[in-house]
Structure 1
Amino acid sequence: MAAENDGPDRNLPATPRKLQKAREDGQVVRSRDLGHFGAIAAGGAVLVGFAPQIVGWLHDLVAEALRFDRIASTEPTVMVERLADMGGKLLWIVIPMGFAVGLVAVAGGMLIGGWTWSFKPLQPKFSKLNPITGLPRMFSKQQFVDALKACFLALVLGIVGALYLKSNIETFGGVIALPLPAALQQVGHTVLGGLLMLLLALALFAAVDAPWQRYMHATRLKMSHRDVKQEHKEVEGNAEVKAKIKVRMREMSRRRMLAAVPHADLVVMNPTHYAVALKYDDAKMAAPRVVAKGADLLAMSIRDTAKTSKVPVLQAPVLARALYAHAEIDREIPAALFAAVAQVLAYVYQLRAALAGHSPMPGELPELNVPAELDPHNKTENAE
């Protein structure tokens, strides 16, 4: 892991997606020194807060333990029962303190990294059993810093403890001459003073270790430009593949539209830019429907297909632009264009009847009733 993430090109901070994946894998910021400080501080707080009760319990427990009779000293079973009874009473003191210490230790661990629930760190990884692949992890920068920090912490705590014991050696020696209640009280005060000294040293280490662990966690998760691009491709999709898919979809749509043109009733064109093919079946449709539309080269293809299939092609620039801008393929035309399209369809039907010899040839296509606001060219002119 260290060798993998220490590359010179990994100089970009981790993205939110990578941070989330790392959290799901159980990789979060944790500070052992902060947990140790919290655990010892919680234990000290419990001792101080319940000191009178604890001293009273210890006094009664020691007094009972030192009370012997002939039966207890000659019958092993009685001695075992007494030991079990005293051990149970002692557990009532130790278990609540241990629970409080453990709870604070867990809370201290989550303080900088937050809560996460993952079984992935517990899954066996046989690759870690390979000593060859494990050597880089053993001599990584992280392991070196952790080992150096642990040694320094042990040295500091040892020095603090040794100096405190040296300065209070006479106090501990004088406890023997005191009555039991006074001896317990004296030992409690002395131990509390040493505990405060150790807590001060642990607090200094925790204040340094917590930011350091944040820094090391961010360093391990750094990404290169290539990693960021690869993640973007995974999230958004490969741009080249998406472009090819769009081209393929446009080609399929183009073929489908051209295949529908021979079945259209007419094609309305703006001579060179727009073409819209319309179909109307009064038995099945409530209004004319657009079966194909296109601009520029696609418009020319629609026109050529329509002429080859003998579908009427009418030059109606304003209507062609309005249909192209506001009508969707395989959808009915907008209601505002019903009148104009009805005029065109009536003209086409008259033309077909004339070609079949059933009626005289119609004149020029009448002026179409196309609302000005539906003409995109008219909007452009008004905007200018």
Structure 2
Amino acid sequence: MADQDAQDRNLPASPKKIARSRAEGQLPRSRDLPHFALMVSGGAVLTAAGPRIVEKLRQTLASALQFDASLLARPGFMGERLADMTIAFALVAGPIAVLLMLVGIASNLASGGWNWTTKPLQPKFTHLNPLPGLKRLFSGQGLGAALKAVLLALVLGVVGGLVLKDRLATYVGIMSVPLPSALAYAGQQLMGGLALLAIALALFAAVDVPLQRQLWLRRMRMTREEVKQELKEVEGNMEVKARMRARMREMARRRMLAAVPQADLVVMNPTHYAVALKYDEGRMAAPKVVAKGADLLALRIRDLAKDAKVPVLQQPVLARALYAHAELDREIPAALFGAVAQVLAYVYQLRAAMRSRDVAPPDLPHPHVPPELDPHNQPGWAPDED
């Protein structure tokens, strides 16, 4: 089952999963890089400031070992002397400790970046179960980490043993020289051995840093089902969104159809397209489209207009141009002002004749529509689905 799961996780981690992993404190961290950085930094500090540190410690120890009868007669003298020695040693070791702490933080940031979270500090009682712990211990990742640690310890032990074997006679000879010279010479030999150990750690760090990142990315891989589930979480359920869009379209269609009885006229083609127009000279700069539709919706607009006694004019080219270029609840394009003005004038004349029972106006006008606005002259054009 584990092998099958690993095979299914063949997709790279999404930004959301990486962010969630960072929030949980899971980052690609290399342990060898901080070890190398701390050893190099400590060696550099000892090389640069070693003599001064030794001299300061020598002076502190010499001052602490000076006693006289008057000082010993004071009851709290020994406590005061111990406090002074502690402060003196802290002033020497404190800056070194702070420097090494900063180096350790910087080396960890270099391998995984900055991340602030308290989740790793929260207690997880599931970790008290020994069975999952044994499973992790004997997993491929756990065995790999154990083998790497054993190999590192073996390499460092061999390097340290060879250095000690090569310089054993030198260390024995140091015992015959004065203490200051012996300490200085021992420090030089020690720094030489640390340099070899630092080279070995550098090689391990150079391999471990990219290796840890690759292993982390491999653990972050996702299955296709996880990707689909995440897309649903990010974008919402597609079926729900489709139903919401359909409901919104239905509501918009109802509002549009409710505006048809208040229109001044409907232009048709004669059954494929229908566009309802309204014009209020006092409030509108140009006629506005209050409803439009194709096919069955066009027939619905025609029927509503006839029931409300709204004139329905057969103007195929104008209807196609208005349907293709005019937006709902917007004014018509300026290029169609003249054509729409002609049909509106005809409608107004028709209404005036009906009220006064005068002679009806002549036949329907044939307004001029620029050829480039007729969608039939545009190859590949198709009406929007209603």
Matched, 1:303 2:302: yes
Instruction: Give the deviation of 1:269 after TM superposition.
Output: 0.8
* CA pair 18-364 structure 1, distance change in 2 beyond 3 A: same
Counterparts of 1:166 and 1:75 in 2: how far apart (Å)? 52
Deviation at 1:32, TM superposition (A): 0.7
Is contact 1:59–1:181 with CA below 8 Å preserved after alignment? no
SS in 2 for 1:43: helix
Alignment partner of 1:275: what SS?
strand
Query: Is contact 1:319–1:370 with CA below 8 Å preserved after alignment?
Result: yes
Partners in 2 of 1:23 and 1:306 — Cα distance?
62
User: Is 1:177 matched with 2:172?
Assistant: no
Q: 1:209 to 1:156 in 2, by over 3 A?
A: same
Gaps spanning 5+ residues in structure 2: where?
381-386
Matched residue SS, 1:14: coil
CA, structure 1 residues 69+168, in 2 after alignment: closer, same or farther (shift >3 Å)? Answer: farther
Whole-angstrom CA distance in 1 between matches of 2:71 and 2:3: 67
- Report 1:104-115 matches (<5 A): 104-115=103-114
Superposed displacement of residue 288, structure 1? 2.0
The aligned residue for residue 212 of structure 1 is: 211
Segments of 5+ residues of structure 1 without an aligned counterpart are: none
- 2:320 aligns with 321
Q: Does 1:29 align with 2:39?
A: no
User: In structure 1, what is the Cα distance between the partners aligned to 2:298 and 2:197?
Assistant: 85
Partner residue, 2:101: 102
- Amino acid in the other structure paired with 2:371: A
CA distance in 2, matches of 1:38, 1:122: 26
Q: 1:213 deviation in Å? A: 0.7
The alpha-carbon distance between structure 1 residues 257 and 231, as it changes in their structure 2 partners (threshold 3 A), is: same
Instruction: Tell me the amino acid that sits aligned with residue 243 of structure 2.
Output: K
Aligned to 2:150: 151
CA drift at 1:47: 0.8
Map 1:1-384 to 2 at 5 A: 7-69=6-68, 77-380=76-379
Aligned-pair distance for 1:328? 1.5
Deviation string, structure 1 residues 78-130 (Cα, Å, up to 9, x no partner): 34433332332222221111111111111111112222222222223333234
TM-aligned CA deviation for residue 377 of structure 1: 2.7
**Counterpart amino acid of 2:116?**
W
| Matched letter for residue 60 of structure 1 | Q
Q: Is contact 1:71-1:78 (8 Å) kept?
A: no
**Distance in 2, Cα, partners of 1:196 & 1:90:** 27
User: How far apart are the structure 1 equivalents of 2:5 and 2:59?
Assistant: 60
Task: Verify the 8 A CA contact 1:5 1:222 in the aligned structure 2.
Answer: no
**Letter of the 1:26 counterpart:** G
Q: Aligned pair count?
A: 380
Is this contact kept in 2: 1:34–1:210, CA < 8 A? yes
Instruction: Give 1:193 shift.
Output: 1.7
SS in 1 for 2:244: helix
Q: Per-residue displacement from partner, 1:140-193 (whole Å, max 9, x unpaired)? A: 322222223223323332333334334333333333432232122112112212
Bigger shift: 62-71 or 34-43? Answer: 62-71
1:167, 1:21 → 2: CA distance?
52
Summarize deviations over 1:220-252 as a string: whole Å, max 9, x none.
Answer: 101111222222333333333333222222222
Paired AA for residue 38 in structure 2: A
Conserved? CA contact 1:40–1:101, under 8 Å:
no
Distance 1:225 1:156, change over 3 A: same
1:174 is aligned with what amino acid? Answer: G
Contact 1:5 1:220 in 2 (8 A): no
| Cα offset, 1:4, TM superposition | 11
Q: Distance in 1 between matches of 2:228 and 2:337?
A: 51
Comparing 364-373 and 205-214, the one that deviates more: 364-373
Q: Calculate the TM-score normalised by the size of structure 2.
A: 0.88
AA matched with 1:92: L
Tell me how far 1:364 sits from its aligned partner: 1.0
